[in-house]
Amino acid sequence: MNGELYLSRAKTRKYFIAAVLLFVLQMILGLLMSIQMVSRNTNLLFPFDIYKALHLNLMILWILLGFIGGLYYLLPGEVGRDIKHPRMIDFQFWFLILSGVGIIISEFFFTGANWWLVEGREYVEAGRFWDILLTIGLLTVVYNVGATVVGRKKEMSSPMIVLAWGAVGSILMYIPGEIWFNSLVAAEYFRWWVVHYWVEATFELIAAGIIALVLLSMTDVKRGIIEKYLAIEVALILLTGIIGQGHHYFWIGTPGFWLFLGGLFSALEPVPLFLMVWSAYKDLKENRKPIPNKVALYMIIGAALGNVLGAGVWGFMHTLPQVNFFTHGTQITASHAHFATPGTYLLLVLGIAYIAVPELAGKFSFSQYRGRIGFWVLVLGFMNMIIALVIAGIIQVYQQRMQGVSFMAVQNMLLPFYGWRTIGGVIALVGGIIVAYDLIVLSRPNTGGFIDETKEVKR
Amino acid sequence: MNNTKLMIIGLLVPALLLIPFSIISFYTDFANKNPDPLQVTVSFNGKNYDAVEGKKAFEQYQCMDCHTIVGNGAYFAPDLTRVYKRTGGNGASLAGIIQSGFPSKGMPPMRDRGMGNEDAYRLVAFLKYTDMLDTNGWPNNGSWDRDGGLDGTAAENIRPMGIWQVVAGIVFFNLIIFALVLAYERAKVGNKT
């Protein structure tokens, strides 16, 4: 992004490629699950729960890979020095990948056999053994980032501070979910610390930081304006998000005052997300500098919009306790998750990958046709999935939760919409494969004999 | 105000508030009257099984990734919070259901997943415990247990002839999205030239 050369940057390329390949694998697992939901036949190679566990855990793994890669890619330019221990970047990558392979093998072959290998709680299914390994690996990332920041040669900009806070915070927030409690209530209480403080605090900080950093480098808007907006966004995200945790404590056996606190603060949670989109829109309107990397801009703006629609609007839709009493544990939640997560974090990781991968391969100008097609196919696929699930959710809330029709009878009614969701999944998978293929092609450096069809323009 | 100061206040104020909230949630009279899982036991063949062992088995067999518990989990299968009540508090029948499953509805016999009888009994103890949780009234009557019994409905197959409205909806929806994308991209090209 800035013209200086840092040797460790070249090592981050594999993080992005691995992230996007794991994303494709996650979508294949999701597709298999959606077929099981239509057919109610769980003998599709493996049972439903194993696919579901891997669908979530692979997502966590590739989001972490993308963010760590992005952090290592952006940090040297911001602190004016190379990463303190460049060899650790390689080591940490292979460590994470090996843990991922271990989690996949344990899920497929050891579910039910050993609690240390498969723990089977939503989002933190990885067994205790893998939890400890992952935590050690991620703490070394914290150390490496910290050591680099301590020896910095120039002041860090506030987007970078936010990004570092977010990355370090998300790694530390993995720990509360690993504490053993006898009580289900306490176990659920702290399991949500992992999930909620990731998606509604630390990952959200990373999102705000990356959007601000990209806008700073791509546009000619004044630094002070972007940084001021960022500070207000971050303060609001934390103010609303940390107590907004309460919306997970409505019905898990915690006291009734959480209904008030969770309802109030989580209703305010969309405010910083609206601010994020509005400031990005305003900045791009004022901008007079041409932006060559359109695909990355598509992804980043898509992430801001996906954040406000998926997390903000879709989240607000069922966050008030009076509404959540009926929507809790229905397909409404599935619709929200399939909008907010890919809408924000997938597009963010892809955005940072589309900035880093071509630049690391020395391609300052590249054909953006395939990337844009991939983006729109992904959007189309996910829109189908989201709308199908939201219709299914509304029917389920009305029939099952309000009218009291039995679970299975309602699931029978929802079959056409599950079928629609499968169609959306196929479309999204095509989009994911296009994007993954495009990134792999872009990651190959131009060799002497290779003639790129797009004209190479050096800056 | 300085940017960094603003962000630190944003972090510290709610984080410090969270500490008393967490303490009040578990250690005061505000806390819900939830049973101690060590005290909730069921007895089979003269042996006692407690809910803490059951919680570990519940995690080990990954029940939560098809079912939900207190509404959290996957939505493929019904919620289990009050399933002990739905079987009429009959532990032996519940253990039998866990072991033999409902293959036609998508629940595999847990026996085939390597579950021994002991683990099934532990799960019964855990489900007895979750039935006693005070979850602020959730789920109300008229949800997973309208008649207070187990769900007797059979799973159906999708009927290709009966879903033409949905197919029309899918086509219509996709045409709208496709038209919007096309209009957006063409307008962009128009701006550039």
Note whether A35 and B157 are within 8 A (CB). Answer: no
Residue A446 scores a pLDDT above 90: no
Residue B83 and residue B3 share a domain: no
The residue to which tokens 């229905």 are assigned: A330
Domain count for chain A: 2
Residue B63 and residue B8 share a domain: no
Between B17, B108, B153, which is nearest A409 by CB? B153
- Count the Cβ atoms, other than its own, within 10 Å of residue A105: 11
Instruction: Assess if residue B46 is contained within a domain.
Output: yes
Cβ-based contacts of A255 with chain B (< 8 Å)? 24-25, 30-32
Residue B52 and residue B123 share a domain: yes
Residue B109 and residue B50 share a domain: yes
Confidence of residue A449 (pLDDT cuts 50, 70, 90): very low
Residue A459 scores a pLDDT above 50: no
Looking at CA atoms only, how far is residue B2 from chain A in angstroms?
Answer: 9
- How far does CA A241 lie from the centroid of its chain? 17
> DSSP secondary structure string, B7-27?
HHHHHHHHHHHHHHHHHHHHH
| Amino acid A451: pLDDT | 47
End-to-end CA distance of chain A: 11
Residue B57 and residue B22 share a domain: no
Residue B11 and residue B78 share a domain: no
Cα–Cα distance, A288 to A275 (Å, whole number): 22
Cα–Cα distance list, A343 to A24, A230, A348, B11, B173 (Å): 15, 20, 8, 25, 19
Cα–Cα distance, A398 to A122 (Å, whole number): 26
Residue B15 and residue B58 share a domain: no
Q: What is the mean pLDDT, run by run of 10 residues, along chain B of 193 residues?
A: 87 93 88 89 93 94 92 91 88 93 89 92 95 87 61 81 82 91 79 48
| Amino acid B139: pLDDT | 84
Between A120, A242, A383, which is nearest B59 by CB? A120
Residue A2 scores a pLDDT above 90: no
Note whether A260 and A338 are within 8 A (CB). Answer: no
Instruction: Assess if residue B143 is contained within a domain.
Output: no
Instruction: Assess if residue B174 is contained within a domain.
Output: no
Instruction: Answer whether A329 sits within 8 Å of B79, measured CB to CB.
Output: yes
Residue B95 and residue B45 share a domain: yes
Instruction: Assess if residue B193 is contained within a domain.
Output: no
Instruction: Answer whether A118 sits within 8 Å of B62, measured CB to CB.
Output: yes
Instruction: Assess if residue A176 is contained within a domain.
Output: no
Residue B108 and residue B49 share a domain: yes
| Residues in CB range of A263: below 8 A, 6 or more apart | A246, A247, A319, A320, A321
Looking at CA atoms only, how far is residue B46 from chain A in angstroms?
Answer: 24
The predicted model gives A247-258 an average pLDDT of 92
Q: Give the range of the structural domain holding residue B15, as residue numbers without chain letter.
A: 1-31
Confidence of residue A396 (pLDDT cuts 50, 70, 90): very high
Q: Which of A121, A141, A156 is the last residue of a domain?
A: A156
| Amino acid B153: pLDDT | 83
Provide the number of CB pairs (under 8 Å) joining chain A to chain B: 259
Cβ-based contacts of A234 with chain B (< 8 Å)? 6-7, 10
Q: What is the pLDDT of residues A332-355, one digit of tens each?
A: 999 999 999 999 999 999 999 999
- How far does CA B55 lie from the centroid of its chain? 14
Q: Give the range of the structural domain holding residue A8, as residue numbers without chain letter.
A: 1-156
Instruction: Assess if residue A414 is contained within a domain.
Output: yes
| Amino acid B143: pLDDT | 53
Q: What is the pLDDT of residues A399-423, one digit of tens each?
A: 988 888 888 889 999 999 999 999 9
Looking at CA atoms only, how far is residue A10 from chain B in angstroms?
Answer: 31
Cβ-based contacts of B135 with chain A (< 8 Å)? 251-253
Domain count for chain B: 2
The predicted model gives A11-33 an average pLDDT of 95
| Amino acid B148: pLDDT | 64
Residue B49 and residue B94 share a domain: yes
Residue B132 near chain A (CB below 8 Å): no
Residue B9 and residue B70 share a domain: no
Looking at CA atoms only, how far is residue A301 from chain B in angstroms?
Answer: 14
Instruction: Assess if residue B56 is contained within a domain.
Output: yes
Q: Which of A120, A139, A156 is the last residue of a domain?
A: A156
Cβ-based contacts of B140 with chain A (< 8 Å)? 325, 401
Residue A4 scores a pLDDT above 70: no
Looking at CA atoms only, how far is residue B92 from chain A in angstroms?
Answer: 21
Q: What is the pLDDT of residues A285-324, one digit of tens each?
A: 988 888 888 899 999 999 999 999 999 999 999 999 999 9
Instruction: Assess if residue B137 is contained within a domain.
Output: no
Residue A15 scores a pLDDT above 90: yes
Confidence of residue A457 (pLDDT cuts 50, 70, 90): very low
Instruction: Answer whether B3 sits within 8 Å of A256, measured CB to CB.
Output: no
Instruction: Assess if residue B158 is contained within a domain.
Output: no
Residue B84 and residue B21 share a domain: no
Instruction: Assess if residue B95 is contained within a domain.
Output: yes
Q: Which of B102, B131, B160 is the last residue of a domain?
A: B131
Query: Is the pTM above the cut of 0.90?
Result: yes
The predicted model gives A190-217 an average pLDDT of 90
Note whether A321 and A250 are within 8 A (CB). Answer: yes
Instruction: Answer whether B72 sits within 8 Å of A114, measured CB to CB.
Output: no
| Amino acid B188: pLDDT | 67
Write A221-224 long-range contacts (CB < 8 A, 24+). A221/A283, A221/A286, A221/A287, A223/A157
Q: What is the pLDDT of residues A47-70, one digit of tens each?
A: 999 999 999 999 999 999 999 999
Residue B7 near chain A (CB below 8 Å): yes
| Residues in CB range of A124: below 8 A, 6 or more apart | A131, A177, A178, A191, A194
**CATH at residue B102:** 1.10.760.10
Instruction: Answer whether A253 sits within 8 Å of B107, measured CB to CB.
Output: no
Q: Which of A126, A156, A186 is the last residue of a domain?
A: A156
Q: What is the pLDDT of residues A361-385, one digit of tens each?
A: 888 788 888 999 999 999 999 999 9
Note whether A345 and A203 are within 8 A (CB). Answer: yes
Task: Reply yes or no: is the peptide bond before residue B108 cis, omega within 30 of 0.
Answer: no
Instruction: Answer whether B14 sits within 8 Å of A238, measured CB to CB.
Output: yes
The residue to which tokens 């530390």 are assigned: A172
Instruction: Assess if residue A376 is contained within a domain.
Output: yes
Cβ-based contacts of A412 with chain B (< 8 Å)? 153, 155-156
Instruction: Assess if residue A313 is contained within a domain.
Output: no
Between B26, B37, B60, which is nearest A182 by CB? B37
The predicted model gives A163-184 an average pLDDT of 88
Instruction: Assess if residue A149 is contained within a domain.
Output: yes
Instruction: Assess if residue A139 is contained within a domain.
Output: yes
Instruction: Answer whether A416 sits within 8 Å of B158, measured CB to CB.
Output: yes
Cβ-based contacts of A334 with chain B (< 8 Å)? 75
- Cα–Cα nearest to A380, from B101, B120, B184, B96: B184
Instruction: Assess if residue A193 is contained within a domain.
Output: no
| Amino acid B15: pLDDT | 92
B contact residues 21-60, partner A, Cβ 8 Å cutoff: 21-22, 24-26, 30-32, 34, 36-38, 52, 55-56, 58-60
| Amino acid B191: pLDDT | 53
Instruction: Assess if residue A46 is contained within a domain.
Output: yes
